[in-house]
Structure 1
Amino acid sequence: MTRKPTRPSPFLRPSRRALLGGAAVAACSAWAAADPAHAGGRRPSWPTEFPLPDGWLPEGIAIGRAPYAYMGSRADGAVYRTDLRTGEGRVLHEGAPGLAAIGLELGDDGLLYVSGGAGGTARLVDARTGTLRKTYRLTDSTGHFVNDVVLLRDRAWFTDSFDAVLYGVPRGRGGRVRTLRLGGDWEQTPDVINANGIVSTPDGRDVIVVRSTLGVLYRVSLRTGHATRIALSGAADVAAGDGLVRVGRTLYVVQNRLNVVAVFDLDARATRAVLRRTVMDPRFDVPATAARFGNRLYLVNARFTSPQTPETTFNAVAVPL
């Protein structure tokens, strides 16, 4: 058993991120607690569940090449780091009142790119020391929610759930933030969560964005902002779609309030997606986002339907790919 962590920083009320629910799709994958690093059972299995501090309000998770998970706090923008081999963790980056850490992505440059939610910021945090390296203000007006992020070539691309734009934050020493307005098939609905999770396309040229409330996936051109709706097989949809993970041409869509991960096969151009199976687990409690390490998918339980208090418990769980 891992020692239950404590939460030293003050609790703040959570930011808005409500999504519409719906009926869960049928098929369910079997659970297997395979060790992602060592086959054959020669060593003890890595934990398949580990705790976060009480009142943490997690939503985003990022994992790089090393076996460490980084999870942000909606309460105050702090970042918690857990060793996947042991389940033990600590607060890596202290937050502050008025901040939030929604989506996270870890780059090969050793920086965490952190979405700032209603604060309209993107923060760069040193993944080794927890030091804040830089803050970008993506918007100066209210009515925005910087939600999720993906790293692609020389930029980190952030979604805005309340505006039809993507923000391209430069990676490296120079450059300016690029605001890319969405067009084509994209239709913005007022006062609901629109753009949410984001990943790169299999060809590495563009991005895939999920529009949560209506359960739609789009391929978005990073050159023009033109959004092309991805055709889903049969009656499949991605209602309550939140975090996205892509492994080759397999796309994992976390449907938070449905407690489901939908697994799609993409075509080469990412214009069609065939639903192959769904993943359910009794430990899911409104999982928000996911990250891959080895043959596992790690998900944080945001528990949006539970009381969001300083005493509310939170955790992350692992399921096999």
Structure 2
Amino acid sequence: MAPAHRSFARRRLLTATAALCGAALLGGTAHAAEETAWPDAFPLPNGWQPEGIAIGSRPYAYFGSLAHGDLYRASLATGRGTVLSTGLGAGHPTVGLKADPYGRLFLAGGDSGELRTADARTGEVEKVYAVGATFVNDVVLTPGAAWFTDSYQARLYKLVLGRHGAPQGVESVPLSGDWVQGDDFAANGIERTPDGSALLVVDTVADGGGLMRVDPRTGAARAVDLGTARLPAGDGLLLLGRTLYAVQQAQNAIDVFRLNASGTRGTAIARITDPRFRIPTTAAAWGNRIYLPNARFDVEQPQPDTEYDAVAVRQV
């Protein structure tokens, strides 16, 4: 994120469960024909200040608001949407978010230091966990937990999930090994490795911006070998099979890597740019498209009439 916006400088994408089961598999070839008529850009409410996006098992995108934590749901087929719910107010932003297969949203609460869950149908906040974090940035779902990053502390938060994804309680997992925290913003987007054995976390400080493979049992981090590629503006991560999409928000680009199964190495295979990018932050997939909100962090003082939108690009 741009230094001038460090309070919301961040991450933030799609869960392996929702992305693979919902978007990649259900929304694949079977939907290709109808998607050709779907909009590849659509507006979000003025003044919304989007950052995160989630898509579940149906073609609807959810967007959180940095302004007040509100939730907005838009149809990918039409681009039309509605404010699903109002948030907890100023000081309680919604940054990264993910949707699970059970009708639940997991919300990263930014500088409120909160982890939240909400009903995906109504947007109603169900549970709030105050974890004492300095900036809860992004979230990814694994079979037994929702994992959240903290951008200003070297730790992850593990929200343990029980039957049907019901939240059970929070554990703090300190980061060690190759992790570099520095004095400023570090952790951003988070994903799983292709084989599901570990977590992948953007570390914007390490070696000019890199990707860390984190052991979820111990928090030990090891730098992923990306060759000469760096992620200085790395934000949201999206994993589809072994292809990792890393949003480089301030660079208005998505860098695409081919990972090995364990996520220890990655090869840069493409860079996606688009003139419609206005500092995109996170990504989610449906069919053969990737959807991103334009956060517009170059707008120093967003106003109620500041325009925002979401755009779609083709997968590599």
Aligned-pair CA distance for 1:174: 6.1
Structure 2 residue aligned with 1:133, among 123, 126, 130?
126
Q: Is the 8 A contact 1:100 1:119 kept in 2?
A: yes
Q: CA deviation at 1:279?
A: 0.2
1:122 Cα deviation after fit: 0.8
Equivalent position of 2:100 in the other structure: 107
Indicate yes or no: 2:239 matched with 1:246. Answer: yes
Q: How far 1:137 sits from its partner (Å)?
A: 1.1
1:283 to 276, 283, 288: 276
Map of 1:219-258 to 2, 5 A cutoff?
Answer: 219-233=213-227, 235-258=228-251
TM-score w.r.t. length of structure 2: 0.87
User: In the alignment, what sits opposite 2:37?
Assistant: 45
- After superposition, give the CA deviation of every residue in 1:93-152 in whole Å (9 maximum; x if it has no partner): 21223210000000112110000000000111100121211111111x6xx100000001
| Corresponding residue to 2:212 among 213, 218, 226 | 218
Q: Aligned partners of 1:16 and 1:67: how far apart in 2?
A: 31
Write the letter of the residue equivalent to 1:285.
R
Name the counterpart of 1:207. 199
Q: 1:294, CA displacement in angstroms?
A: 0.8
Q: Once superposed, what is the RMSD of the aligned Cα atoms?
A: 1.8
Q: CA deviation at 1:84?
A: 0.4
> Which residue in the other structure is 1:78 paired with?
70
Aligned amino acid, residue 245 of structure 1: L
**Contact 2:159–2:167 (8 Å) recurs in 1:** no
Percent identity (aligned): 48
After the TM superposition, which of the residue ranges 65-74 and 301-310 deviates more from structure 2? 301-310
CA distance in 1, matches of 2:254, 2:32: 25
CA distance in 2, matches of 1:174, 1:297: 29
SS in 2 for 1:177: strand
Unaligned runs of 5+ in 2: 11-27
1:305 to partner: Cα distance = 0.6
Residue 44 of structure 1, CA deviation: 6.1
Judged with a 3 Å threshold, the aligned counterparts in structure 2 of structure 1 residues 216 and 85 are, in CA distance, closer, same or farther, namely same
Does residue 80 of structure 2 align to residue 88 of structure 1? yes
Q: Which letter does structure 2 place at the counterpart of 1:120? A: G
Q: Deviations over 1:47-101 (max 9, x none)?
A: 1001011111000000011000000000000010000000000011212232100
**Residues 15 and 74 in structure 1, CA contact (< 8 A), matched pair in contact too:** no
Could you tell me which residue of structure 2 aligns to residue 158 of structure 1?
Answer: 148
Paired with 1:130 and 1:178, the residues of 2 have a C-alpha distance of 25
Q: Distance in 2 between matches of 1:257 and 1:43?
A: 29
| Other structure's SS at 1:303 match | coil
- Contact kept? 2:179, 2:203, Cα under 8 Å: no
Residue 147 (structure 1) aligned with residue 137 (structure 2): yes
* 1:287 alignment partner, SS class: coil
Provide closer, same or farther for how the CA distance between residues 186 and 67 of structure 1 changes in structure 2, counting only shifts above 3 A: same
Residue in structure 2 matched with residue 181 of structure 1 by the alignment? 174
Hey, what does 1:296 align to over in structure 2? 289
Corresponding residue number in structure 2 for 1:17: 8
TM-score w.r.t. structure 1 length? 0.86
Partners of 2:83 and 2:266 lie apart in 1 by 38
For residues 91 and 63 of structure 1, the distance between their equivalents in structure 2, rounded to whole angstroms, comes to: 16
The CA deviation string for residues 240-299 of structure 1, in whole angstroms up to 9 with x for no partner, is 000000011110000000001000000122111100010000000000000011100000
Counterpart for residue 190 of structure 2: 198
| 1:270 aligned residue | 263
Indicate if the aligned counterparts of 2:8 and 2:110 stay in contact, CA closer than 8 A. no
Instruction: Give the count of matched residue pairs.
Output: 287
Gaps of 5+ in 1: 1-13, 20-34
In structure 1, the residue corresponding to 2:250 is in which secondary structure?
helix
Distance 1:108 1:282 in 2: 34
Measure the CA separation in 1 of the matches of 2:72 and 2:258: 32
Q: In the alignment, is the contact (CA less than 8 A) between 2:108 and 2:115 conserved in 1?
A: yes
